[in-house]
Chains A and B, each alone.
Chain A
Amino acid sequence: MPQISSFQIFAILFPTITAIPYIISSKILADVAAQNSWLAALAALIPGALAVCSYLFILKNSTSPFPAMLEEHLGSLPGRLLGFVYIFVFLFSTALALRTFVDFAISHVMPGIPISVMIFVTLLPAFCAIRSGLETFARVAEIVLLMAFPLAVLILLLTLQPQANFSNLLPVYADFYDLGRGSLQVLWLLGSMVVVLTLGFYADDRSRIPASVFSVLIFSVLFISFTALISIINLGPAMSTVKSFPIFSMARAVNIGGFIRNIEIILISIFVAGIFIPITLKWFMACYTCQHVFRLKGHRFLAPPTAVIIGFLSVLISPNIHVLFVILKTAAPAFFVFFYVVIPVLLAGMLLFKSLIIKSKT
């Protein structure tokens, strides 16, 4: 059985949540909550903490990893049926992450490269990681985190030019409807932490998982909020909404004394490294869920056929980048919040209710 440390859990979960928002969330959040987008991201801390508490409570009261725990708590047939649905949820999630990256790459980095080639090249390292096993993937995640995260923050700081306008943040007011919609945009990303229900069982020290998961929550929310804040200060809410990838535009515009410039290549490098983590993790979860639902002897042999599904599904998800952004702004949050947050919270509530009944009887 593979063993991973609590830091490796952090190293896997943090890029899984923040890799895609680093590029797109400032646009989507500005579209929903305008100059208060950074506040909306911060507000997601509250429902995010509720979700994390639910995950930890389920983890504490389960003897088997997700999705086998669904059978343990809901019964054999409902648990396996729900597990079967989760296979496709994870496959869809992988395809969506892949398509977001591919659209960014072929529209801003390498225009002219066929989308099929881009998909193949992106899936190849993830395929190798799944075949190599969880421990190898966790070690790669550590390296990616230590190399990419400081550079990601550095790029955000470098984009703060002298012409940055802090008055773009005004007026600061609490329109609770927009704030709630903005929080939902971050909550579905935080919901990716549901994988801790599986990873937690492979931890070498389970007592350190809560600290690790709460660190991921706080750092992720701060990072997404900071990204949105920088985008609003530099571009304003209107321009942040118009640009497809605001952070990329800002990185391209960096010019410090004519000496530090063209740093967008660093941004691309760290994004390519970062996107490897969510794609691999969600793909691994799809194969792992499949292994438990069908009671198979392994999950690695499922990587090749699911690769074909993910590859073609990522193309079929949307006809163009505009529709992709509409999906990311509207359908994806509702869909993933239901599967990653609502169902685990309901499951935790059910477990709590059961334990209270048992206590009252004794």
Chain B
Amino acid sequence: MVITLFVFLIAAVVLIDAPELYKKRMYKELAVFVFFLLIGLYLGMVQLFGWPFYNPVVDMIPALE
């Protein structure tokens, strides 16, 4: 269920602007769009599938406290 929603979310994000950018031949804009989408996709995988993610702040908590 969660994975389906995630796939729909990513599809919606792509469909909002990517086709128009492609039609207008704004390839640099499209590349930046994809770059940020891939970062978002990775963070989603971290949250949903437990992919590796290093959060330095969490390791620093004992020292910070």
Residues of A within 8 A of B34 (CB): 305
- B41 with A318: CB separation less than 8 A: no
CB distance from A316 to the nearest CB of B (A): 6
CB distance from B10 to the nearest CB of A (A): 7
Which residue of A is nearest B63, CB measured?
A330
User: For chain B, what secondary structure do more than half of its interface residues adopt (helix, strand, loop), or is it mixed?
Assistant: helix
Would you list 9 pairs from A and B whose C-beta atoms are within 8 A, ordered by A residue? A297-B26, A301-B17, A301-B21, A306-B36, A312-B46, A312-B47, A316-B43, A326-B65, A327-B57
| Given pairs A302-B32, A304-B12, 7 additional interface contacts (CB within 8 A) | A296-B28, A301-B29, A308-B13, A312-B43, A315-B47, A326-B61, A330-B64
Given contacts A308-B44, A312-B43, contact A318 B36 (CB under 8 A): no
- B60 with A316: CB separation less than 8 A: no
> Given A298, A304, A312, A327, which contacts B44 in the complex, CB threshold below 8 Å?
A312
**How many angstroms between the C-alpha atoms of A243 and B58 in the bound complex?**
22
Which residue of B is nearest A329, CB measured?
B64
Chain B interface extent, by class? 20 to 34
Q: Which residues of A contact B (CB under 8 A)?
A: 290, 294-298, 301-302, 304-309, 311-313, 315-319, 323, 326-327, 329-331
**How many angstroms between the C-alpha atoms of A313 and B53 in the bound complex?**
11
CB distance from A202 to the nearest CB of B (A): 22
Residues of A within 8 A of B29 (CB): 296-298, 301
**How many angstroms between the C-alpha atoms of A119 and B49 in the bound complex?**
19
Residues of A within 8 A of B60 (CB): 331
- B33 with A301: CB separation less than 8 A: yes
